[in-house]
Structure 1
Amino acid sequence: MSIRMEELTSLTIVSVSGQKYKLTRQAGYGTQGVVYEENTGKYMVKLYFPSGCQSIDDDVLERLQFIKNIKTPKNFVVVVDLITSPYIGYVMNKVIDYKSLNSYLIPDKKLSFAEWYNKGRGFFERLFVGYVIAKAFGELEKSNLSYCDISGNNILLKTTNTGVSVKMIDIDNIYIAGKGKSVVLGTPRYIAPEVISRQKNPDVLSDNYSLAVILFELLRVGHPYISDDVLDGTPQEEEAALAGRNDYVTDENSTNMLPADVVLTDKLKDLFRRCFLDGKKNRMSRPSATEFEYALLEASNKIIKCKSCEAWHYPRKKGREYESCPWCDKPSRPKALLNFYDVLYEGDDYKNAKVVGDNKSGKLVNSYILKQSMKNYIKSLYILRFDDFGKEKRSSENYMTIANNEKGYHAYNEFSKGGIVVRKFNSKEFIHLDNKKAILMESGDEIYFEITNNRAITIKCGVNYYSFIRIARFMEM
């Protein structure tokens, strides 16, 4: 049973480290306690409601000390100091000029839906925000830590001309499996079904569910279990849906949200199905945060900007023709792209060898639609093979650059990677791409990635040798 907390405005408190903080005003409060601003403007102080039980308060302080000492990803606002009097609490850095993720999840009634969704950099921005969030929680997941309360209230972001900065607050919710009990279960809309039913404590797998819901809402602006009928139904029906007792929505029964084809790639569709369909029976089926990180990064490189309405969207083909922009119904198509292939050659010298099999192009493994208005950073995710054990660590590294000017698209070895080779279309000449000179690309040109000691990978099968290499074929539309 908690006891009443006094008003502390204007009080100076002393932390465990001896630092003094003068509380200036109450900035907010919740079920756990109260948050105050302090006079320097650099920090926020969170104080817990007293429990009235010394052993419980001791457990809270021990958990805060543990959280203060662990290494967390840079996106998480860390505990910088501890408070023991007059109440238990902690000090954190103040996050300035950030807005809640809810501004991306809850439509602004002052704007039309299209204006709100496409505000700023619209869909492109949403994919990148999702990518940054997934990457941060992926780092947390690798430490077997769970955040427990992933929600729009606890994720703050700031957009700039160069990108998006994301911060996660309320880090005191972090929990490590097997170390006591989680302080919170989460925010109802995002709590995993097994946590709602009290069958499981919050953990990494329940975080994976909460993250998937947030990302689903960010892109489709709806909940994966709330169909039109539930939306028009009773509070009890919505409660049952949030508890996972409803089926995963379809486009047919959920016209309240954006259609899957408009905002999801096939890979994202598969990840959401695994979470909200397969994951209902087996929570181990839920995709990890890192899987979402890769899928969102790839999705951000599969979109174009409509010339008519300036909305970002996936270019969809119907037969040989591109469909119109889903937002304005005007013609919209990509200008150039890279298709990535895995190719197997006879012999140990791919430059003078024949391709194995009937498909002379090789196996298509990925694609990247090149943007005209910005540099295209081709990351390691596109270059490294799926069986490369270093891929996970290096997937977000920039590998090379394709940039556009009035003359066309140019390939740059901006990051001084070895083994990038360009073969001009219908030519037998192979040009090593160094970091001193760009190469103007023409449709049909190919880029070869010699990732093993500046060579293709050599495979011996019996007495025969083969060369395996990943290539990117440049195509102008």
Structure 2
Amino acid sequence: MEQTVRDARGRSLPLAERLGHGAEGVVNRVKDSRLAVKRLFRRDADPGQATALESRLRAVARMPIEDLPIARPMVMLAEPDLGFVMELVDDMVPLERQMLAPYEVELVPWYLATGGLRRRLRILARIATTLATLHTRGMAYGDPSPGNVLVSEPTDQDQIWLVDPDNLAVESDGSRPAVYTPGYGAPELVNRGGRISTLSDAFAFAVMAHHTLFAVHPFIGDEIEEGPVEWEEAAHAYRVPWIDHAEDHSNVSTGGLPGRNRLVTRTVTRYFRSTFEEGLLEPRRRPSCADWAMALWQAGDAMIACGSCPGQRFATRACPWCGASSGSDLVCRIWLHAGPDVFSLDRAERSGDPDRVVGVRGWDIPAGELVAIDRGRPFVLTGRHGEIRPAAPDRPLSTVSWDGDNRIQVRNVGARPVLLVSGDRNVQRRLWPEQDAEVELRPEVPPWRLCFTSDPLSPHRQVTFDLIESTGTVR
């Protein structure tokens, strides 16, 4: 029988499938619409629950989140239901579907068929970026958990939509009680009655990231998985070490994906350890969501499709799924060009020779970022790669295409001109919007570079293109 609720405006809303659940209630799609309904669990001993929810939703409506992928509350539900209606995006499914394979299928084939490691890294990077942006605006999300996150259903996409807006709070608001999903709440919330904060968000995100990347909860070891429910409750209260603890091996897990540490970068591995060991009881020692965002974007960008199996691997390394390597990989290294020193530029300008001014070199500082290019699949360099302070990190700037030989195609898809400069700096090509160029990569000469500027003397970001032989090792 179809279940129906009514909103405060009298509209009848037929409920479709459940999209997620959190600490306070469940979220259902509204049939044949772009709406969803969150129904809260009623607390009989709290007659003011509805008034408090309405007050919270009014506060959320005033928060600066219009540019973020967070559902906005629209209208309260009518009695006897307690909850609200919110906007929804098409073709989204719960993040939980990216965590655990259905019982009837094998884990690794299912994992690769649902987007593999690269897609999960990018989904998590988007979540971390959204949380970090909230944090810079003085807000905490409150209950980051897989039941409160929707992701693109098509496996070639990685968009997100957060559906728990009623728990958003200004971090300095100490009057709000902590709300968390069991298994994801930070220790200071679970055990010490603390208040939500950016650091409790960061802990919950780390648990969610671990579960999504490796298909295993970081505190559910083998014995707890097979033991009574009380043991799981102890794990959710962090009375046991995490499954990959550096010294305490009493809660190891053989579940999830094999070889967890070789599937991600050393930075991501270090961040898990910092969160679940030093940061377990000392929140300020945890990586922030901004730290996580940077590490996850960089890890996802450094991955390419394996040519021998459905999986992905890190550039210049063998595939962790099948052991194959490609011989050579095309990688883009990102640099910050800090501009020339004042004295060299002054001497060149006083010489009256414009070629000498252009030839003045500045300081190229490695940004520590690497982008790997798939054969036959253009990679889009965005504001995140090419701008020092990107106002729109996802805005396309240039595409790089490579078919596996020693030539690459670069196309300017942004709104401003860019420069292609040869490694010896003897050749400069200005690419106007929608203009492209082909360059040849030769190992005996310095690599070509793409400068995201029309003025080579100004501070800007740039990428260099290198063909690198694979080592044939997994890590």
Q: Deviations over 1:62-116 (max 9, x none)?
A: 2232223434354222211134645553222356543221111112222222111
| 1:194, distance to aligned residue in structure 2 (A) | 0.8
Inter-partner Cα distance in structure 1 for 2:83 and 2:361: 68
Whole-angstrom distance in 2 between the partners of 1:368 and 1:25: 43
Measured in 2, the distance between the counterparts of 1:148 and 1:241 equals 21
Deviation, 1:14, is 6.0
Q: Deviations over 1:402-425 (max 9, x none)?
A: 1235984211222133452321x5
Q: Map 1:166-315 to 2 at 5 A.
A: 166-179=160-173, 181-182=175-176, 185-228=179-222, 230-231=224-225, 235-248=229-242, 249-250=244-245, 253-257=252-256, 258-315=258-315
Structure 2 match to 1:80: 74
Structure 1 residues 442 and 228 mapped into 2: Cα distance closer, same or farther (>3 Å)?
A: farther
CA contact (8 A) 1:148 1:184 kept: yes
Matched, 1:399 2:402: no
SS of structure 2 residue aligned to 1:335: strand
- Report deviation, 1:24: 4.1
For 2:290 and 2:139, locate their aligned partners in 1 and report how far apart those are by CA, in whole Å.
14
Task: Mark the runs of 5 or more structure 1 residues left unpaired by the alignment.
Answer: 1-6, 317-321, 458-467
Q: Residues 136-186 of structure 1: CA distance to partner in whole angstroms, max 9, x if unpaired? A: 222332333333222222212223376233222232233333546546621
What is residue 441 of structure 1 aligned with on the other side? 439
Tell me if the contact between 1:135 and 1:289 (Cα under 8 Å) persists in the aligned partners.
Answer: yes
Letter in 2 for 1:172: D
> In the alignment, is the contact (CA less than 8 A) between 1:338 and 1:473 conserved in 2?
yes
Query: Which residue in 2 is equivalent to 1:465?
Result: none
Q: 1:375 aligns with which of 369, 375, 378?
A: 378
Instruction: Tell me how far 1:302 sits from its aligned partner.
Output: 0.7
The equivalent position to 1:63 in structure 2, one of 50, 56, 62, is 56
Distance change (3 Å), C-alpha of 1:436 and 1:179: closer
2:146 matched residue in structure 1: 152
- Match status 1:131 vs 2:133: no
Q: Quote the residue 1:107 is aligned against.
A: 101
Sort the Cα spacing of 1:138 and 1:373 in 2 relative to 1 into closer, same or farther, 3 A.
farther
- Between 1 and 2, higher relative CO (CA 8 Å, sep ≥ 6) is seen in 2
Secondary structure at the aligned position of 2:466 is classed as: strand
CA distance in 1, matches of 2:31, 2:93: 22
Contact 2:37 2:84 in 1 (8 A): yes
Q: Does the 8 A contact of 2:74 with 2:86 survive in 1?
A: yes
1:26–1:34 contact (8 Å) kept in structure 2 = no
Point out the more displaced range, 100-109 or 86-95.
86-95
Q: After alignment, is 302-311 or 435-444 more displaced? A: 435-444
Instruction: Supply the distance in 1 between the matched residues of 2:333 and 2:108 (Cα, whole angstroms).
Output: 31
* Deviation for aligned residue 1:471: 4.4
Q: Distance in 1 between matches of 2:229 and 2:362?
A: 62
Give the Cα separation in 2 of the matches to 1:129 and 1:34.
Answer: 22
CA contact (8 A) 1:173 1:184 kept: no
Q: CA distance change for structure 1 residues 350 and 280 in 2, over 3 Å: closer, same or farther?
A: farther
CA contact (8 A) 1:80 1:90 kept: yes
The answer as to whether partners of 2:379 and 2:400 remain within 8 angstroms in 1 is: yes
What is aligned with 1:319?
A: none
Further displaced range: 438-447 or 154-163: 154-163
Q: Which residue in the other structure is 1:413 paired with?
A: 412
Aligned-residue RMSD, C-alpha = 3.7
Aligned-pair distance for 1:314?
1.6
1:475 equivalent among 461, 466, 471: 466
Report the 3-state secondary structure (helix = DSSP H, G, I; strand = E; otherwise coil) of the residue aligned with 2:381: strand
Structure 1 residue matching 2:97: 3-state secondary structure: helix
| Deviation for aligned residue 1:209 | 0.7
Structure 1 residue 55: Cα displacement: 4.2
Counterparts of 1:365 and 1:65, CA distance in 2: 43
1:377 positional shift: 1.6
Please state whether the residue corresponding to 1:275 is helix, strand or coil.
helix
Kindly tell me: are residues 235 and 24 of structure 1, through their superposed partners in 2, closer, same or farther at Cα, counting changes over 3 Å? closer
Q: Distance in 2 between matches of 1:238 and 1:52?
A: 28
Q: Is the 8 Å Cα contact of residues 82 and 91 (structure 1) preserved in structure 2?
A: yes
**When the two structures are aligned, how many residues end up with a matched partner?**
440
Between 405-414 and 189-198, the greater mean CA deviation after superposition: 405-414
Provide structure 2 residue ranges, at least 5 long, that are not aligned to the other structure.
Answer: 346-355, 469-475
Q: Partners of 2:224 and 2:31 in 1: how far apart? A: 47
Cα distance in 2, alignment partners of residues 339 and 406 from structure 1:
18
> d(CA) in 2 for partners of 1:225 and 1:10?
38
Q: Secondary structure at the match of 2:440?
A: coil
CA distance in 2, matches of 1:152, 1:375: 31
Q: Which residue of structure 1 lines up, in the alignment, with residue 348 of structure 2?
A: none
**Alpha-carbon distance in 1 for matches of 2:224, 2:155:** 40
